[in-house]
Amino acid sequence: MKEKRKLTKGEKIALVILAVLIVAVACTGAWLIIDNVNNANKAQITSSSSAEGDEELTSRAAGEDNTVAATDADSTAAATDSSKSKTSSKTSNSAEPAEDETTASKTESGTNSKTSSSTKSNSDKKKSKTKTKKKATDYSDGKVPVVEPETNETHASEKVLKVNGKKVYVGDTITVTVDMTTPVVLVNYQGFTQYDSNVLKFVSAKSNSGGLTNNKDSAIYYNSSILSGIDFTSGGTIYTAEFEVIGEGSTNINNTLEIVSDLDLKDVGVDNCKVKVNIYD
């Protein structure tokens, strides 16, 4: 058997150095591996963080873009509404003067019409002191009409005469009607009306029931006889007369009914008939 050779001192030192180098290299390699792994992990973490950050930034940017877009849309809508409101306001304001002008035109037209009508009415009153509202109609139907003359507002003077309690003025022409209501249809009637010729001057008289009227001795006499009948059952005017007021003071026009007969020529009775004297100035 070969005997083991003992290492020299120099070889031992070389072996120790070699072992140290091997350990150093191993440690260095291990350290490099660990460092590479750590770097790789860091790079991955960094990449992930970067991706997340980019995604968050992208999301934020998108949100901001949406917010900006919504804000812009709201602003546009508000601007549109404001524009519509202004347009509507302008249209309304522009339309109002036209309405005011129309109203003013109508008012002016109505005023002018009323003024013209009033002027014409006053002119007509001045032209004629007395107008008959209801003219005596044809008496062929047997019914006697009621005459209501129109009153006159103008007066010739301020001197007053009271006729049957009604105030009239000296210089005016007044209208007197004698109206009668009977319980039955008449065949004839007769009577007279007295007046004061010192204050009233007779002008004219007209029968409204087919009879006759005569003026004599400060009285108007009337009578009528119609075999077909004279109908005063609903009231009617016996006659209409006109007088000129020539004196002031107070007076009465009195009527007296003398004869009233029905279709059988029987006396109806004057107390059963109503007679009224009406004064119109």
pLDDT digits (tens, 9 = 90+) for 94-120: 444 444 444 444 445 554 545 444 444
| pLDDT band at residue 129 under the 50/70/90 scheme | very low
Query: With 80 as the cut, is the pLDDT of residue 222 above it?
Result: yes
What is the CA 265 to chain-centroid distance, rounded?
63
Residue 56 is predicted with a pLDDT of 52
Residue 141 is predicted with a pLDDT of 62
Query: With 50 as the cut, is the pLDDT of residue 5 above it?
Result: yes
Residue 90 is predicted with a pLDDT of 44
Q: Which of 121-125, 133-137, 161-165 is the least confident region? A: 133-137
Residue 243 is predicted with a pLDDT of 97
| pLDDT band at residue 72 under the 50/70/90 scheme | low
What is the CA 114 to chain-centroid distance, rounded?
19
- Integer angstrom CA distances of residue 128 from 78, 154, 196: 73, 10, 25
B/e letters for 60-93, b = 16+ CB within 10 Å, e = fewer, are eeeeeeeeeeeeeeeeeeeeeeeeeeeeeeeeee
Alpha helices of 141-254 — where are they, by DSSP H? none
> Is 201:259 a contact under the CB 8 Å cutoff?
no
Q: Which region holds residue 154: left if phi is over 0, alpha if psi is between -120 and 50, else beta?
A: beta
Q: In the structure encoding, which two tokens stand for residue 72, read together?
A: 């812009």
Query: With 50 as the cut, is the pLDDT of residue 85 above it?
Result: no
Please indicate whether residue 177 or residue 214 has the higher confidence score (pLDDT).
177
CB atoms within 10 A of CB 238: 27
Residue 125 is predicted with a pLDDT of 45
Q: Is the pTM of this model over 0.95?
A: no
> Is 199:246 a contact under the CB 8 Å cutoff?
yes
Q: In the structure encoding, which two tokens stand for residue 214, read together?
A: 């005569």
Mean pLDDT in residue range 128-141? 46
Mean pLDDT in residue range 5-21? 79
Give whichever of 7-16, 20-29, 44-53, 217-226 has the largest mean pLDDT. 217-226
